[in-house]
């Protein structure tokens, strides 16, 4: 059943339209976790720690794709809502070309800064060498990584969420099969895991590029695009919340790693890595739903559909509540099995991970609301409010908590800080939604 952005969305239609995006983001997170599983179980704890140590840096580079995808998707969908499909196609082409160029620049910068940054963060000896090995193989694929993140959003804007899911599945299967082959079967170890991820990112970024470069059945297609600085600034400003969210999470992950190295050693970093892998999968449901609804919100905002905006917000908050309860229950039930899956070979590390998981699971009761709230304001083309929510949630609150709480409760304080920061973000999101109600009539 093809659903258009202009339709009235019931709960059934809303879930049907967003389900491909939810599955796409969850699947994307799962295959991102595959490296960790194979490295931990087939290469060793030091290599697993190195991957978790340097991965935030690489994810921060790819985060530009979310900025172009969310900010550009909102602008494109709003333009379609205003009835100007030709202008929407021009904006789409401009944004894709700009993001590709940005990816090349980021890959070159990352190559120059990889070793100095790893050293500055505290990596040394075998762990430092593993960080360099993993990062050096992944960096050439950063342009494709940027496009992959971007197209996860823009395929929904093009009313092709099913295609986005198909591309993600193809990329995921590429990573999983190559990880199994290059790490578990053939003796390529950490290099094999990195190569598997890099090739999967190429699949995820290049396949949609080929689709939009050819005649297709969507409302968008790559073509000539005049340089429009104002549109690019609007895209980057509006998508800055998602960029800030991803960069902040990466920066905060580095800070958590530094704190854990101080209070718990390498075992603390390994345990935190497991939490972040699981968090990526669980929060992908909230992110996927937000990505799926964003073009609908933008379209009806552009079309002046205030009643539909009110309906979308009310229904979305109910869906987020249901997902939050489901994620919390799943985290409580799966804490033991998931910890065993990653670090079952080390009893001390397994006990630490299980304990951390039992505290961390409470964060899922809160995180979905701020994720959706930030995305909602991005869809309304209000990048400032969206960025404020993301900035406070992923950077300010996290940094304050992880620096202060361990002074009183040591390692325990680090795990509690993950939950406290999410709870604070919910309060901020509620204030912004209440204060902007008269402006957007939702």
Task: Give the pLDDT confidence of 376-408 residue by residue, as tens digits.
Answer: 998 888 878 988 898 898 888 989 998 999 889
| Alpha-carbon dihedral 225, 231, 236, 238, rounded to 10 degrees | -130
5 within domain boundaries: no
How many domains in the chain?
A: 1
Task: Give the pLDDT confidence of 98-153 residue by residue, as tens digits.
Answer: 999 999 999 999 999 999 988 887 778 888 999 899 999 999 999 999 999 899 88
Task: Give the pLDDT confidence of 323-350 residue by residue, as tens digits.
Answer: 999 999 988 888 788 788 777 777 888 8
Q: What angle do CA 355, 361, 362 make, to 5 degrees?
A: 115
Confidence of residue 212 (pLDDT cuts 50, 70, 90): very high
CB proximity list for 69: less than 8 A, separation 6 or greater: 149, 150, 151, 152, 153, 154, 239, 242
Q: For position 44, what pLDDT does the model report?
A: 82
Least trusted range by pLDDT, from 4-13, 70-79, 196-205, 365-374:
4-13
267 within domain boundaries: yes
First-to-final CA distance of the chain: 27
345 within domain boundaries: yes
Q: Which domain holds residue 17?
A: 11-440
1 within domain boundaries: no
Q: For position 32, what pLDDT does the model report?
A: 62
Calculate the average pLDDT of the chain. Answer: 87
425 within domain boundaries: yes
Q: What are the DSSP calls for 375-406, one per residue?
A: HHHHHTT-HHHHHHHHHIIIIIHHHHHHHHHH
Once rounded to an integer, what is the mean pLDDT over residues 31-44? Answer: 78
In the numeric block, which tokens belong to residue 130?
Answer: 């593993």
| pTM for the whole structure | 0.71
Helices (H) and strands (E) in the chain, counts: 17, 0
55 within domain boundaries: yes
4 within domain boundaries: no
Long-range CB contacts (< 8 A, 24+ apart) of 111-114?
111/136, 111/139, 114/54, 114/57, 114/139
2 within domain boundaries: no
């Amino acid at each position: 059943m093809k659903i258009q952005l202009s339709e009235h969305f019931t709960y059934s239609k809303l879930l049907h339209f967003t389900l491909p995006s939810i599955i796409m983001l969850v699947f994307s997170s799962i295959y991102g976790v595959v490296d960790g599983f194979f490295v931990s179980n087939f290469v060793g704890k030091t290599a697993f720690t190195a991957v978790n140590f340097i991965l935030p840096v690489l994810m921060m580079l790819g985060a530009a794709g979310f900025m172009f995808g969310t900010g550009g998707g909102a602008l494109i969908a709003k333009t379609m809502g205003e009835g100007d499909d030709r202008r929407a196609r021009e904006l789409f082409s401009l944004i894709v070309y700009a993001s590709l160029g940005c990816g090349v620049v980021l890959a070159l910068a990352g190559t120059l800064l990889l070793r100095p940054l790893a050293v500055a963060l505290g990596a040394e000896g075998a762990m430092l060498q593993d960080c360099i090995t993993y990062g050096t193989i992944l960096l050439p694929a950063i342009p494709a990584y940027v496009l992959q993140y971007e197209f996860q959003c823009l395929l929904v804007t093009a009313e092709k969420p099913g295609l986005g899911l198909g591309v993600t599945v193809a990329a995921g299967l590429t990573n999983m099969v190559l990880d199994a082959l290059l790490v578990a079967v053939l003796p390529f170890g950490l290099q094999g895991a990195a190569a598997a991820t890099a090739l999967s990112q190429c699949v995820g970024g290049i396949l949609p590029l080929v689709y939009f470069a050819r005649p297709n059945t969507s409302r968008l297609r790559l073509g000539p695009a005049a340089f429009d600085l104002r549109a690019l600034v609007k895209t980057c400003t509006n998508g800055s919340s998602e960029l800030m969210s991803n960069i902040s999470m990466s920066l905060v992950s580095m800070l958590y790693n530094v704190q854990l190295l101080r209070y718990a050693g390498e075992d603390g970093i390994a345990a935190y890595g497991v939490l972040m892998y699981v968090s990526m999968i669980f929060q992908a449901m909230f992110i996927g739903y937000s990505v799926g609804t964003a073009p609908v919100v933008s379209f009806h905002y552009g079309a002046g559909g205030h009643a539909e905006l009110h309906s979308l917000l009310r229904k979305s908050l109910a869906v987020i509540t249901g997902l939050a309860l489901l994620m919390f229950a799943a985290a409580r039930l799966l804490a033991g099995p998931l910890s065993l899956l990653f670090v079952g070979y080390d009893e001390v590390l397994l006990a630490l991970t299980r304990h951390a998981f039992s505290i961390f699971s409470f964060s899922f009761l809160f995180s979905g609301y701020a994720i959706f709230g930030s995305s909602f304001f991005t869809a309304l083309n209000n990048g400032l409010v969206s960025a404020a929510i993301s900035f406070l949630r992923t950077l300010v609150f996290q940094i304050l908590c992880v620096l202060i709480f361990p002074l009183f409760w040591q390692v325990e304080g680090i795990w509690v800080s993950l939950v406290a920061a999410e709870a604070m973000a919910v309060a901020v999101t509620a204030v912004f939604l209440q204060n902007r109600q008269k402006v957007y009539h939702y």
